[in-house]
Amino acid sequence: MFKSIITRFKWSIVGATVLSVVGAMAGIVMLKIITMQVSQLGSGEAAGPYDFPIFVGAVSTVLLFSLLSRYLLAKLSARIVYEFRDSLAKRLLATSYASIEKIGGHRIMAAMKTDAAKLSDGLLLLPGFIYSFVTVLLCLGYMVYTSWQLFTVVFVLIALIMFISKLILNRGLHHYLRLREYEDDMFSGMKTLVDGVKELTINARRRRFTYDEILEPNFAVIRDRSVKVSLIFTMLGSMASTLVFFVIGVIVFGSQVYFPDVPLGVVVTFVLTILYMVTPLQSVVDSMNRFSDCSASYRNIEGLELGEPDEFERRTDLTRQVPDSVTDWSTLSVRDLEFQYQSDLEDEYTFNVGPVNATFRRGEAIFLTGGNGSGKSTFAKLLVGLYQPDRGSIVLDEQAVYEAVDISDYQQMFSTIFSDFHLFEHVLNAEGQPESDEVISRYLTDLELGNKVTSKDGKFSSVAMSQGQKKRLALLMSYIEDTPVCLYDEWAADQDPRFREIFYTRIIPQLKQQNKLVVVISHDDRYFHLADQLVKFENGQIVVDERPQGAPLAESEAEPAPEPSLAELVMA
């Protein structure tokens, strides 16, 4: 990901680096002038008439080019941060549901909150790092030019310091990676507090156990490891500035003993150059510490194995021609469909679905029923393409999905409300654009939600309401999306008797009249006679696939009924 981003901006990086080089070279000229003046003062010589103007020009050049290069690098780093965040969002959107389910929501949220933030902050350090790094390199080059003997001493000392720093840095990185693992566990534990609030509120023993055995030990480990990580990285930062003065001392005292022939002016040049390097060198060391942080965060994000941005663009290309196979069809079939949940643990029980064979007709209502854990919800996820079957096929008429039919095109046929659905704030129509507020307002009134929520520019003013009311808003969205297949998982479970009756006796029949295939997961056996096809699951197998007595067959050749409003459905 980063390689492609850096490649896109390589010429901008080169240009900004050139400006940094010019600014740093002006700084070397400034140092040279100061050194010459110090030497002249020591010998009693007067400054030349052009020395001070040249010095002022060098200072001005340093200021101008350093500001210009930092400005360009700041713009560049901001663009790179944007590209990183944009790429990360696309990768997450391109990741399959099954992969996200396997990764775990708490790991993804921890990566988005912590790792992505660290990476973004680290990228913003690039301007200072590049300028400081160039300055340090030119200062080292200037010292080589002035006295290679003294430079050899400086180089050996700096190399030794960098080697020790690297060992300490690797140790700190190890502790940081372990810290991130404990932070992932902490996020998982905190999520338990929110998800299990009802049970924890009632059960004091579990509440005590959750704190004593799960949360507090994790907090303690994170506290101790945070101290270690902070100490290591703080020590690295302080070492850089302190050891610089150690190097200066070695140069001053060592030159008198081992290099007596080196002129005093050269020693002064080295001292001033090293002092000039202190701030840039400190910036380089600090940045490298932060970049090590970023490296660990980057590995955490890459370890999630998210999708690729190009796949996101391909799947969401709204200008692509949709094939006739997903717009003009009459039957949706599953043939010898099999799926097994995967587990990384040996000897752990894994649930299987299949082999399943069934055919569903457009313009009919299919009721999926069965006990909890019977496989009906897993089958629904297979049917809509959230899970990919291990064996068997899904067929539109005679076109096999995943082979003749692209899975992304196939999924656009569905509008779903799962039992654990997420309610979005924006209402989109069949073209993927925000629906008009007038239409939304009318539907909200029909669903008896007009006094609880409004919309502006196709966005709900609030979605903080009861589960049953949220499901009505989700039904409104499903209706406006106008897809050929509607799948509702226990939609009526949270409705009052009146809306439950409306759903089964009016809304579903009207959707059928629009030639839609309606798949309903339901336990409401009093309405099973309204199904065109009743499919019952047990242990991942279809044990009943029948047409209730009196259920009409779909009229595949019939003209679709005109689209009714929700007012017609609710008030009929």
17-26, 387-396, 435-444, 560-569 — which is least confidently predicted?
A: 560-569
- DSSP-derived letter for residue 395 is E
Average pLDDT over residues 359-387: 90
d(CA 86, CA 408): 21
| β-pair partners for 460 | 455
* pLDDT score for 367: 93
Determine the average pLDDT of the residues in 508-521. 92
> What pLDDT is attached to residue 3?
64
CA–CA distance, 105 with 304 (Å, rounded to integer) = 11
In this prediction, residues 502-516 reach a mean pLDDT of 90
For residues 98-106, average pLDDT: 79
Residue whose C-alpha is closest to residue 239's, from 231, 229, 250, 251: 231
pLDDT digits (tens, 9 = 90+) for 437-452: 888 888 888 888 888 8
Q: Which pTM value belongs to this model? A: 0.66
Q: Which two tokens stand for residue 267?
A: 């020693």
Q: Is the pLDDT of residue 219 over 50?
A: yes
Paired with 552 in beta bridges are none
Q: What CA–CA distance (Å, rounded) separates 560 from 537?
A: 31
- If we measure between CA atoms, which residue out of 194, 278, 211, 287 comes closest to residue 242? 278
pLDDT value of position 417: 92
In this prediction, residue 366 has a pLDDT band, given cuts at 50, 70 and 90, of very high
Amino acid identity of 352?
Answer: N
Pairing verdict, β 533-538 and 365-370: parallel
- The yes/no answer on whether domain 329-571 falls in CATH 3.40.50.150 is no
Q: Give the HSE-up count for residue 315: Cα atoms under 13 Å, Cβ half-sphere.
A: 18
The per-residue pLDDT of the chain, averaged, comes to: 80
Position 225: which residue type?
Answer: R
**In angstroms, rounded to a whole number, what is the distance separating the alpha carbons of residues 549 and 277?**
89
SS3 for 31-85 is HHHHHHHHHHHHHCCCCCCCHHHHHHHHHHHHHHHHHHHHHHHHHHHHHHHHHHH
pLDDT band at 6 (very low <50, low <70, confident <90, very high): low
Three-class DSSP category at 531: coil
Tell me the pLDDT tens digit for each residue of 533-565.
999 998 888 888 888 765 554 444 444 444 555
What's the CA gap between 252 and 269, in Å, rounded?
11
What are the sequence ranges of the domains in the chain?
1-146+287-316, 148-261, 329-571
Q: Tell me, what's the pLDDT at 521?
A: 93
Of 495 and 564, which is predicted with more confidence?
A: 495
Q: Please report the pLDDT score of residue 323 as a whole number.
A: 75
Q: In the structure encoding, which two tokens stand for residue 277, read together?
A: 């390097």
Q: In this structure, what are the phi and psi dihedrals at residue 457, rounded to the nearest 5 degrees?
A: 55, 40
Residues forming a β-bridge with 410: none
